[in-house]
Structure 1
Amino acid sequence: MNTRLIAMDVLYLTIFISMFGQINTETLNDSKRLYEKLLTGYKKQLFPLENSTKPLEVGLSLWLKMINDFNDVNEVLTIVVALRMNWTDPSLRWNPKDYGNTDTLRIPSADIWIPWVYVLNSVDTFEPIGKDATFLALICSNGSVTDAPGAIIKSNCPTDMSKFPFDVQTCTLKFIMWSAGPAFKLTSNSDELLMDFFIPNAHWNLVNHKAYVVQDKKLYTYNIDICIQRKPLYFTVIIILPILLLCLLNPLVFIFPIESGERMGLAITVLLTFAFFLTIAANVVPTSSSPMCFLLCMIFSIITISGFIIIGVIISARCHYVETFDHNSSFEIFFNFCCIRKNGRPLESKKLHGKDVAKVLDILFCTFSYVLIFISIITYIFFVKYG
């Protein structure tokens, strides 16, 4: 009994394999016949224009795989994309019933005509997308063809570094069918980029993106706007925080005792440190940046304030070693004016001691330096947030 059941199972399995094996063989043969039929006499060098009075519509959409790099000094954006193109080729139509109900066929794109789409603002090479690569094109029975060649694109992207390192950059990629003229019409299949396979970048956040077609005198360009925002943590820790710390320490040179002789050395050291950070920031910002980076302006203003601090140190030290000032000297007139404003009467003594003058000047210079530094920092913060 068991032997009979096993024999019946083997028979059914043999019939099943034979039936589906025959179907697969017929489908493969149908595909071979269809492939030979479509490409026999096919000229891929000719434009597939069924009616010369109407332009051939080529629909475009872009898969953004990743933002590989953005060189803000050289103003070059490098991205990895796949450009999806679809059009209708009347020479690639067939009746599915004649080929085993085969509705679609995938063949190498090198065997058929494909649109030559160029990146107009490319900085690397000016050649069609996917020119030397091999991709599969999907052909439907109604003559509709879809091809999605991939490429690494390097395009020019003018930068606005005014708010560095909190800047947002908008780059526009322009795709065009070069030398095609009015025979072709580009259309956008989507208002946004296709982000199914997107990999985030370590240094930039993708803020916004859009796709649209621009027509200028029957010449179409397919434009892609990519808006990216810098991740500011690295430059904040490396540049901004040390500068803020030095800004707090710089006016404190007036607290040092003049007799120690360390005031001038510390003031010059802080000034040179500011110059060092200015060099670091300048190396990141392109020389052609317009408008100018406001962080560089802030550092330059702080360097100027640091220079005034050195001058204040010199004046304070000079006054410290003067025993007394003569009657009607500029210092005595100034201090008498301050006392009249404060107490309503002038100083009783006609002589001013140099150490007393130096102490008052230290307080004035320290306070004034902090006010100027505070104004510079607040101006930068206000510009970055609201400018």
Structure 2
Amino acid sequence: MFVKVLFLYMILGLPKATVCQNLTVHKKLYNDLFNDYNPEITPFDTENGNSYEKWINFKFYNLGINHYDEVEGILSLTSITQLTWLDSSLRWKPSDYNNISQMTVSTGTIWFPHIVLLSDANKLEPFGSTSLFKVRIYHNGYIEWFPAHVINSKCAANIRKFPFDEQQCSLKYFVWEPSWQIYLQPVSKPYSDIHETKSPDWIVQSWEMKADKQGNISLAVILKIKREPLYYNILVFTPIAVLSLLNPLVFLLPHNSGERISYGMTVLLSFVIFLTLASDKIPATSNPISFLIVFIVLVFIASAVILLFNIINCYFYKDDKEIKGCLKHIAKILCRKGRKEKVSTFDEITIFYKDIALGLDKFCFVMSYIFMFSLITVYFIILLF
């Protein structure tokens, strides 16, 4: 019975003893590494001529675009930055420490590079100054650090082709160190979308990382994004195009119906009300101005001109006086039906102001549609090219 109890005690106590032993080894390793370690001293050894130890590998992961304010020119995104560097004073032999090949410590324990996002819209602050993300130390002296950030970077917007616009934002990183021996080395694969959360408004087209050619103390992550235009096409462009094509139909209404002016006013007021609603969806910026704004203004002016000619036509239609003088030649052109009729002299033709109104209706109807279709076509050509 005593033997069984002793055996059971040994079995249950073995894991606890192993854990205690590992904790002891970790503690010994920690004390051996940081006994004479000073995090204020740059660990790069510049005396032996090993320039590889001076470089910091930089890799960028985008986790998703949170928001892009075109008016303020601020891009908000969540990202993870992978930094890898060599600290030759933090090396050990795993065989001397129970085959421990790596360990994690807080950022305040070791030296880490002070890298600043120069394009930060809030404040210039080095990575890790308030970071709770720990660093991983390998037995060969290499250190990995994965700080995560919600970045608010300055990015001037170019909404000239809104809502088919593409934006290019540059996240500029800089090594804020007094020593010129510290450089940033972009990793060959700058971007990974494995953990990216897709934005409903923006599509990430491409990434590019460029280091400073004059010393590699700075690095830029160039992000190219494209807006999803479907929402704005349905809500903004389609109703405007429909209203613009409905406007010329006012010239087909009979003058005696009394609905011509009310129809024109209704379309114009509907257009104004819609512009008020659509203005909340269009970025309010003057430099550069959006082609869509120019398109809306031109359509609005054309609608006002259509209403003006409609009022003039109604005024002429009620006048039964005969036209004389040079106005008679203009009326002949407007009232031409396209067929040849033999007349003795031009003076025998009697034309009234009502005929001018009917001729203006046809002329304005055709010219209005030509202008509207041309305006829409030119707008799309500008957006595509």
The TM-score, its normalising length taken from structure 2, stands at: 0.89
Say if 1:187 and 1:213, in contact at 8 Å, map to a contact too: no
Range with bigger deviation, 145-154 or 16-25: 16-25
- RMSD between superposed Cα atoms in Å: 2.6
Asked if 1:350 is matched to 2:325, the reply is: no
C-alpha distance in structure 2 between counterparts of 1:340 and 1:254, whole Å: 17
Residues 159 and 277 of structure 1: CA distance in aligned 2, closer, same or farther (over 3 Å): farther
TM-score by length of 1: 0.88
More moved, 54-63 vs 328-337? 328-337
For residue 379 of structure 1, what is the aligned residue in structure 2?
Answer: 378
- Any conservation in 2 of the 1:282–1:296 contact (CA below 8 Å)? no
| 1:215-234 equivalence runs, <5 A | 215-234=212-231
Deviation of residue 251 (structure 1)?
Answer: 1.0
Q: Greater strand share, 1 or 2?
A: 1
Would you say 1:271 and 2:268 are equivalent positions?
yes
Q: What corresponds to 1:28 in structure 2?
A: 23
Alpha-carbon deviation of 1:369? 0.4
> Could you tell me which residue of structure 1 aligns to residue 363 of structure 2?
364
Instruction: State yes or no: 1:317 paired with 2:319.
Output: no
Matching residue of 2:161: 163
For residue 114 of structure 2, give the secondary structure of its aligned residue in structure 1: coil
Partner amino acid, structure 2, of 1:364 = F
5+ long unaligned stretches in structure 2? none
SS at match of 1:91: coil
CA contact (8 A) 2:60 2:79 kept: yes
AA matched with 1:205: I
State how far apart, in whole Å, the 1-side matches of 2:334 and 2:131 are: 84
| Superposition deviation, residue 317 in structure 1 | 1.4
Contact 1:320 1:358 in 2 (8 A): yes
User: 1:287-346: CA deviations, max 9, x gaps?
Assistant: 2432x3111111121122112212211221122012133333414444158649742656
**Cα distance per residue 1:223-269 (max 9 Å; x no partner):** 21222222223222221111011012111121233334433343244
Please state how far the C-alpha of 1:276 moved relative to its aligned partner: 4.5
Q: 2:201 aligns with which of 200, 203, 208?
A: 203
Structure 1: which 5+ runs fail to align? none
SS in 2 for 1:135: coil
Q: Summarize the Cα distance change of 1:208–1:16 in structure 2 as closer, same or farther, 3 Å threshold.
A: farther
Cα distance in 2 for residues equivalent to 1:158 and 1:280: 25
The separation in 1 between residues aligned to 2:239 and 2:333, in whole angstroms, is 41
The answer to whether the 8 A contact 1:181-1:218 is kept is no
Q: C-alpha distance in 2, partners of 1:268/1:181?
A: 72
Matches within 5 A, 1:38-57: 38-51=33-46, 54=51, 56-57=54-55
1:1-387 matches, cutoff 5 A: 17-51=12-46, 54=51, 56-180=54-178, 182-210=180-208, 212-278=209-275, 284-290=282-288, 292-335=289-332, 339=336, 342-343=339-340, 345=342, 349-385=348-384, 387=385
CA offset digits 1:166-216 (Å, max 9, x no partner): 222221111111244522110012333132321111222222223x23224
